[in-house]
């Protein structure tokens, strides 16, 4: 058994996870980030204590953070969704608990869940890309999580691809997540519509990424162009990462992964065209097994890949 916590912008989810990666008990509280760090800290403490009572033998808790951690994994350096900067979360929690606290980036937690129990299980080197509002990433090489000297080694969403028509929330221009996220997909379509491109999407006015994929599958020219564009940049990114660390397998998760093979086949084709050594170094590219529970499962199993 293990205790895993997934901190999101709207909810904090905690679970007791067994040795097979199954969540046996789960609890949730609303993320009250608008009330400040101390309120969220207090809610975390109460949630963890409740889970600890349900599984009193546990000696550690893993927590997935939607932000950047220090190289030592003790401080939340930056977490925009919660308005946190340089918060000593590990120290603050351990002062209130009888458990050791282990922190990890939430996309890395999802990568760990897949490597331990999901689509990349049995592979010593894997990379996960989470495609949602932004693009997150997790990297495991030779059964070890790669976090880097400053904790930012897996920030694949901020790889510079090329100049884009809008800036990333990080302040840079050209980040992967401005080309290959749900936000990027929507903004590209909105831009094309504003410039007079005809599409069935015009009738809706307000549309999301799911609607764009539905339109693309139905043959809408703009939607199909947008999806192909997104897949092209993901193929570039996967090829670049492959040339750098040569993983056996890539796992695609997040909300956009619900498009399934319609998206996956395009990503595979784009990747193969851009690999330096496609004949013998083409990585497998698969969909994630876990969805909303991945953060908890991975956070509860941090020790597997240290």
pTM over 0.85: yes
By residue count, the chain amounts to: 306
pLDDT one digit per residue (tens) for the chain, 306 residues: 899 999 988 899 999 999 999 999 999 999 999 999 999 999 999 999 999 999 888 889 999 998 899 988 899 999 988 999 999 999 999 999 989 999 999 999 999 999 999 999 999 999 999 999 899 999 999 999 998 888 888 899 999 999 999 999 889 999 999 999 999 999 999 999 999 999 999 866 689 999 999 999 999 999 999 999 999 999 999 999 999 999 999 999 999 999 999 999 999 999 999 999 988 889 999 999 998 899 999 999 988 877
How do beta strands 249-253 and 284-287 pair? parallel
Q: What share of the chain is helix, strand, coil (3-state, %, to 5)?
A: 45, 25, 35
- Please report the beta strands in the chain, taking only residues with DSSP state E, as ranges in sequence order: 2-7, 11-17, 23-30, 60-65, 68-69, 76-79, 84-87, 100-105, 126-131, 135-141, 144-145, 249-253, 284-287
What are 173's strand-pairing partners?
A: 167
Angle at 249 between CA 187 and CA 306, to 5 degrees: 100
| The two three-digit tokens of residue 285, written as one number | 């590219």
How do beta strands 68-69 and 11-17 pair? unpaired
Distances (CA, A) of 302 to 34, 137, 153, 247, 248: 29, 16, 17, 20, 21
Question: Which domains are assigned to the chain?
Answer: 2-112+293-305 (3.30.420.40), 119-287 (3.30.420.40)
Contact of 207 with 187, CB cutoff 8 Å: no
| The two three-digit tokens of residue 196, written as one number | 């007079």
């Amino acid at each position: 058994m293990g205790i895993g916590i997934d901190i999101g912008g709207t909810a904090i989810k905690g679970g007791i996870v067994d040795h097979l990666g199954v969540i046996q008990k789960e609890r949730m509280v609303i993320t009250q980030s608008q009330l400040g760090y101390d309120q969220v800290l207090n809610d975390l403490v109460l949630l963890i204590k409740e889970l600890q009572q349900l599984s009193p033998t546990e000696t550690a808790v893993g927590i997935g953070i939607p932000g950047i951690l220090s190289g030592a994994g003790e401080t939340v350096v930056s977490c925009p969704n919660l308005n946190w900067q340089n918060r000593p979360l590990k120290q603050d929690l351990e002062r209130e608990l009888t458990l050791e606290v282990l922190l990890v980036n939430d996309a890395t937690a999802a990568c760990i869940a897949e490597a331990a129990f999901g689509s990349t299980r049995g592979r010593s080197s894997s990379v996960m890309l989470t495609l949602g509002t932004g693009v997150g990433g997790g990297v495991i090489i030779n059964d070890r999580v790669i976090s880097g000297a400053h904790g930012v080694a897996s920030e694949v969403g901020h790889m510079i691809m090329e100049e884009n028509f809008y800036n990333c929330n990080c302040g840079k221009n050209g980040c992967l997540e401005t080309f290959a996220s749900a936000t990027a997909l929507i903004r590209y379509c909105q831009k094309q519509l504003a410039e007079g491109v005809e599409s069935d999407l015009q009738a809706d006015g307000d549309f999301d990424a799911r609607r764009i994929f539905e339109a693309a599958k139905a043959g809408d020219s703009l939607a199909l162009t947008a999806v192909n564009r997104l897949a092209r940049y993901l193929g570039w990114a996967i090829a670049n990462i492959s040339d750098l660390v040569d993983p056996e397998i890539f796992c695609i998760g997040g909300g956009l992964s619900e498009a399934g093979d319609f998206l996956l086949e395009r990503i595979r084709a784009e990747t193969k065209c851009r690999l330096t050594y496609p004949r013998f170094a083409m990585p497998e590219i698969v969909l994630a097994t876990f969805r909303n529970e991945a953060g908890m499962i991975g956070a509860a199993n941090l020790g597997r890949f240290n």
